[in-house]
C-alpha cells in the first residue's frame, strides 16, 4: 500500500470517529446500557441505538454495493441479504468458538459494572469524566498484557486444537 | 397588514441540523454508525477484516500495538492495512465527544460513574482482554450480525446474556444489602 493511500485510510478513520463521537455524546448512545436499561426499567431509548446499528449496517452495505463500492464479503452490484450468512460457524481453529463466547460474555458483564460499552467510555473521557480517562489507561495496559501474556497461550491452544 | 410583519414573514429561515437529545437520537446515531462503517470500508479500503469500520476494541488495540511496535520495535499483531498508518477511530471518538461537550457547555472534569479510580482501571484492563478474545466490541458485533455472520449473531446473544447476568447480580446485591 502506498503512503498516500495509507494516510487516506488513517484520516478517514479519524474523521468518521469524530462524527460518531460527536453523535455519541449528543445521544448518550451506549450498546450495553441499552440492553441494561431495557432489562431493568423497560426503557428502550438506548436499545434503539443497537437496533439502529443493525438497520444502518443493512442500509450501508446495500448502498455501498449498489453505488460501486467494494466490500470484501459481497458480490459487487448484486443485492444480497445477509451476505455472510453462508459462512455459518466457519471459524478455524474451532477452539476459538468457546473462547470467543467467554470473551463476549465477560466483556458485556464487566461493561455493565463499568456502566458503559468501550465506545461510551471513550465518549465519557472526551466529556471530561475521570473514570472514562482512567478506563482508557487500563485499556492501553490491557492491550499490552494481552499481547505479551495471552497471545502466546492462544497460539499454543490453536496449535494443540488445529480444527 | 403592517409593513414590518410582511418583511418578517418573507425572511427565509435558515435550516440548521439539530443535535438536541430527542427520542430517536440514539436510533439515528446507530443508523449513522452502521452506514459510515460500510462507507469507510467500501470507499476507503478499510478491509479486511469484514465489518471493521467502527470498533471500540480492535481499533484501540491496533493503535496501541502500532505505537508500541514503532517505539519499542516489538512485533505485536496489527491488521495489515494499519501497518503504515495507525487507525485513528478511537482518537476520533474522544475528539468528537470533546467538541460536542465543549460546544454544548457540558465539558467539565468530574468523576465518572465508577467512583473508584483503581476499579475503573481494572475494568478497562479486563474488558479489553475479554473483548480481544472475541475480537470485537458490541458495535462491531452488531455490524457483523447485520451482515449475516452467524458467529457474530451468536456472540451478540452472549453479550445480551452477559448483560442480563450482570443485572441479576446487581439486583441480588441490592436486595441483600
Residue-wise pLDDT for A51-90, tens only, equals 999 999 888 888 887 776 666 655 555 555 555 555 555 5
Widest pairwise Cα distance in chain A: 52
Query: Given an 8 Å threshold on Cβ–Cβ distance, is B117 in contact with A143?
Result: no
pLDDT higher than 60, residue A91: no
Chain A and chain B share a number of CB contacts under 8 A equal to 487
* Low-confidence winner among A28-32, A45-49, B12-16, B41-45 (lowest mean pLDDT): B12-16
- Chain A window 125-154: which residues touch B at a Cβ cutoff of 8 Å? 125-132, 134-147, 150-151
Q: How far is B13 from chain A, CA to nearest CA, in Å?
A: 24
* CA–CA separation, A130 and A46 (whole Å): 23
Query: Does residue A103 register a pLDDT over 70?
Result: yes
Mean pLDDT of B19-36: 82
Q: Which residue of A has its CA nearest to B86?
A: A10
Domain positions in chain A = 3-45+89-160
Half-sphere exposure of A80 (CA within 13 A, CB side): 21
**Domain spans of chain B?**
23-176
Q: What is the mean pLDDT of residues A21-43?
A: 89
Least CB–CB distance from A84: residue in B32, B65, B149: B149
Identify the three-state secondary structure at position B45.
Answer: coil
Q: Do B96 and A17 touch (CB under 8 A)?
A: yes
Q: How far apart are CA A90 and CA B35, in angstroms?
A: 26
Given a cut of 90, whether residue A109 has pLDDT beyond it is: yes
Amino acid at each position: 500500500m502506498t503512503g498516500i493511500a495509507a494516510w487516506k485510510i488513517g484520516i478517514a478513520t479519524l474523521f468518521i470517529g469524530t462524527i460518531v463521537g460527536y453523535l455519541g455524546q449528543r445521544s448518550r448512545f451506549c450498546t450495553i446500557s441499552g440492553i441494561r436499561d431495557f432489562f431493568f426499567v423497560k426503557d428502550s431509548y438506548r436499545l434503539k441505538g443497537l437496533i439502529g446499528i443493525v438497520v444502518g449496517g443493512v442500509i450501508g452495505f446495500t448502498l455501498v454495493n449498489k453505488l460501486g463500492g467494494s466490500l470484501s464479503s459481497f458480490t459487487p452490484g448484486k443485492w444480497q441479504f445477509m451476505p455472510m450468512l453462508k459462512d455459518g460457524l466457519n471459524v478455524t481453529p474451532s477452539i476459538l468458538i468457546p473462547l470467543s463466547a467467554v470473551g463476549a460474555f465477560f466483556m458485556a458483564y464487566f461493561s455493565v459494572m463499568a456502566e458503559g460499552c468501550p465506545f461510551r467510555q471513550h465518549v465519557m473521557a472526551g466529556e471530561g469524566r475521570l473514570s472514562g480517562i482512567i478506563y482508557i489507561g487500563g485499556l492501553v495496559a490491557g492491550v499490552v498484557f494481552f499481547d505479551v501474556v495471552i497471545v502466546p497461550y492462544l497460539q499454543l491452544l490453536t496449535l494443540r486444537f488445529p480444527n | 397588514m403592517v409593513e414590518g410583519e410582511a418583511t418578517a414573514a418573507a425572511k427565509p429561515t435558515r435550516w440548521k441540523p439539530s443535535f438536541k437529545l430527542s427520542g430517536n437520537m440514539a436510533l439515528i446515531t446507530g443508523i449513522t454508525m452502521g452506514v459510515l462503517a460500510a462507507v469507510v470500508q467500501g470507499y476507503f479500503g478499510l478491509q479486511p477484516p469484514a465489518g471493521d469500520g467502527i470498533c471500540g476494541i480492535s481499533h484501540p488495540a491496533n493503535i496501541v500495538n502500532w505505537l508500541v511496535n514503532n517505539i519499542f520495535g516489538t512485533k505485536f499483531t496489527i491488521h495489515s492495512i494499519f501497518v503504515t498508518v495507525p487507525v485513528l477511530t478511537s482518537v476520533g471518538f474522544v475528539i468528537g465527544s470533546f467538541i460536542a461537550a465543549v460546544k454544548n457547555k457540558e465539558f467539565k472534569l468530574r468523576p465518572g460513574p465508577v467512583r473508584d479510580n483503581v476499579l475503573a482501571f481494572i475494568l478497562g484492563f479486563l474488558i479489553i482482554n475479554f473483548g480481544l478474545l472475541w475480537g470485537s466490541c458490541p458495535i462491531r458485533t452488531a455490524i457483523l450480525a447485520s451482515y449475516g455472520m452467524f458467529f457474530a449473531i451468536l456472540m451478540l446473544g452472549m453479550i445480551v446474556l452477559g448483560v442480563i447476568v450482570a443485572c441479576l447480580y446487581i439486583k441480588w446485591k441490592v436486595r441483600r444489602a
